[in-house]
Chain A
Amino acid sequence: MYSRRKLFIKGMLFLFPALIIIIIFRFTPILYALRISFYNWGIAGSKGFVGFNNYLSVLQDSEFWIALSNTFWYVITVVPGVVILSLFIAVLLNQNLKVKGLFRTAYFLPVVTSIIAISIVWKWIYHPRIGVANYFLQIIGLDPLLWLDEPRGVFEMIFQRKLPLFFKGPSLALFSLSIMTIWKSLGYNIIIFLAGLQNIPNHYYESASIDGASAWQAFKHLTLPLLSPTTFYVIMMTTIISFQVFAPVWMMTGPPPGGPLGTTNVVVYYLFDKAFNFLKYGYATAVAFILFIIVLALTILQKRFGEKNVHYE
């Protein structure tokens, strides 16, 4: 038997390699960032303590609010799109289909491919003049769209009139990014839903069938409630990840990124721009913490709301 002291030393020795990396590159940066965010911090280091001024100026910058509302629209379009489509496809795949493996491969392929390559492929598909997306529209007799170059809100385009503020909806440019993101993240969430579906015992469906339930009733009263922990997980993860969107904006929009007319500027691009184009490090870290607080608040809110509606067995 070891003494407590010896055991502690041994534990620390085993943890040491991981701990040192995590302390230096995970804990320290967070504390450091917290500090920087209270300073007027530029390329040459600190130019003095400014208290909450960075946070206040972020909150007073109209560009930040535009970026935040764009990010909200992005999340609001991506999350339901991903949840509904991946659940739908997972339910269809969860039958003993002959070519299930083939379908699964097709849906999963975008998950392992890099967002950079994918972004440029989709930019090419969305090309306003010679893109294949417009070619497909032409085939079914619709007018071509500007896609990533279109600053008008999608609701404005649907109702063909100018609309104020929030009623515009996301610009078509931003919505085009949402479509690509949904396409890219479906596969992962289908796999998660399939795992959840396979945990539902088959005899539940058998008894429902004996009771004369229709397929839709079984889905509504059995599948959905029993799957709710998985659905909850998918909603949470997709929300958290979507709030941090950066690469598609940087790769596909503009120049400068965030265009047309700032309608695809999102919070992380705004942060990146302030940090590395304007070299306002203090200001940029304040943006990062505001983003973190928003995501945290939403997560807690979803958890509160979600737990009422999640049925754990």
Chain B
Amino acid sequence: MSIMNKLRRHSNILVYIVLGIGAVSMIFPFFWMMSTSLKTPYEAVQFPPTMLPSQIDLSNYSEAWSKVNFGRYFLNTIFMALSTLAGVLITSILAAYAFARLDFLGREILFVGMLAVMMIPMPVYIVPGYLILMKFGWIDTYYALIVPWTANVFSIFLLRQHFKTIPKDLYDAAVIDGYSDLGFLFKVVVPLSKPALATISIFSIIGSWNSFLWPLVVTNSDSIRPVQVGLAYFIQEQSTNYTLLMAASTFVVLPLIVLFFIAQKQIIASYARSGLKD
């Protein structure tokens, strides 16, 4: 009998209790957010608080939604997320193929140079990124939200690792069949790389949906704001209306929570893979 078995037999219940308390603590803030969002403003500020709303009040949701332009923020974010994703997929697939398959001069230097970029922390980019976009006249445009994020070193790296596992024989066979590199890439390599592409897409979508500091810096007008920045300004305006704030927070996190429940296995596997890069 292994030690793990022994451990399990002796302390099974204890393990469940400890993990259960932990899980409840993890879930509680979400529960509290939703519970508050369904209370009347009067009930929400009572102390001691009620755990569940004594009557369900959905009006916070409609009020929060219509108070500022959340519909617009959602559309902006969806547009930003999909455009960024399309860009990331195109640039990563092409670049990863070049790094994995095309043995040209300077390849290694370029690859190492790109990896070095990953070392630079985000805060270094804030000011010069802003000034460069200003020179382009892109401040407060969708370009500023999308274009800088359409290439991603991490995605290129992840995809290159995957492309390298595809046997060279397939390539030789494709060349005999008259495929060009592009034909081979999109008809053979890409269909074989669905899990890796899914991982990249998941990170890209989650990254776009939750991106905050960059959009905060490069946008000014309300009509272009993505949802996190819109929520941040809404929070500043409604500083103490906690029922409205919790309702807004709920519908801002909901799309990703739904996505998470739909593609949970894939998402968790993607995050697990991200840690094994060295």
Contacts and interface: CB of A to CB of B under 8 A. Distances in A.
Interface of A: 4, 7-8, 10-12, 14-19, 21-22, 24-30, 32-33, 36, 89, 92-97, 102-118, 120-122, 124-125, 127, 129-130, 132, 135, 138, 183, 186-188, 191-192, 194-195, 202, 205-206, 208-209, 213-215, 218, 230, 233-234, 237, 240, 243-244, 246-247, 250-251, 267-268, 271-272, 275-276, 281, 284-285, 288-289, 291-292, 295-296
Nearest to B252: A117
Given A93-B19, A120-B235, A121-B246, A115 B94 contact: no
B189 interface: no
Most buried by B among A16, A29, A110, A240: A29
Contact of B232 (A112, A116, A135, A194): A116
Nearest to A233: B275
A215 B6 CA distance: 8
A272 B271 CA distance: 29
A298 to B, nearest CB: 12
Nearest to B45: A130
Given A36-B127, A125-B32, 19 more contacts: A7-B104, A15-B95, A21-B147, A25-B147, A92-B18, A108-B260, A112-B257, A112-B260, A114-B212, A114-B228, A114-B252, A116-B228, A117-B250, A124-B245, A183-B29, A202-B4, A215-B7, A246-B123, A285-B127
Interface string B75-94: 00000000000010011101
B253 A191 contact: no
Interface stretch (B53-61, B112-120, B164-172, B193-201): B112-120
Contacts of B213: 246-247
Contacts of A28: 128, 132
Contacts of B107: 11
19 contacts: A8-B105, A14-B98, A14-B181, A21-B150, A36-B128, A97-B19, A103-B23, A112-B256, A114-B210, A114-B212, A116-B210, A121-B29, A121-B249, A124-B32, A188-B271, A246-B123, A276-B217, A285-B128, A288-B121
B176 interface: no
Contact of A281 (B1, B131, B156, B261): B131
B124 interface: yes
A184 to B, nearest CB: 9
Contact of A4 (B105, B125, B272): B105
Contacts of B2: 202, 205-206, 209
Contacts of A102: 23
Contacts of A117: 33, 231, 249-250, 252-253
Nearest to A289: B124
B275 A292 contact: no
A292 B49 contact: no
B174 to A, nearest CB: 15
Given A14-B102, A93-B19, A121-B246, A205 B4 contact: yes
B179 to A, nearest CB: 14
Contacts, number: 279
Nearest to B275: A192
B267 interface: yes
Q: Which of B7, B45, B105 has the most CB of A within 10 A?
A: B7
Contacts of A272: 126
Contact of B153 (A22, A89, A271): A22
Contacts of B246: 120-121, 124
A293 to B, nearest CB: 11
B26 A29 contact: no
A280 to B, nearest CB: 10
B2 to A, nearest CB: 5
Contact of A18 (B92, B122, B276): B92
B242 A124 contact: yes
Contact of B126 (A105, A109, A271): A271
Contact of A191 (B127, B231, B268): B268
Interface in B220-253: 228, 231-232, 235, 242, 245-246, 249-250, 252-253
Contacts of A116: 210, 212, 228, 231-232, 235, 252
Contact of B128 (A30, A96, A244): A30
A246 B104 CA distance: 42
A113 B253 contact: yes
B8 interface: yes
Nearest to A93: B19
B52 interface: no
A275 B127 contact: yes
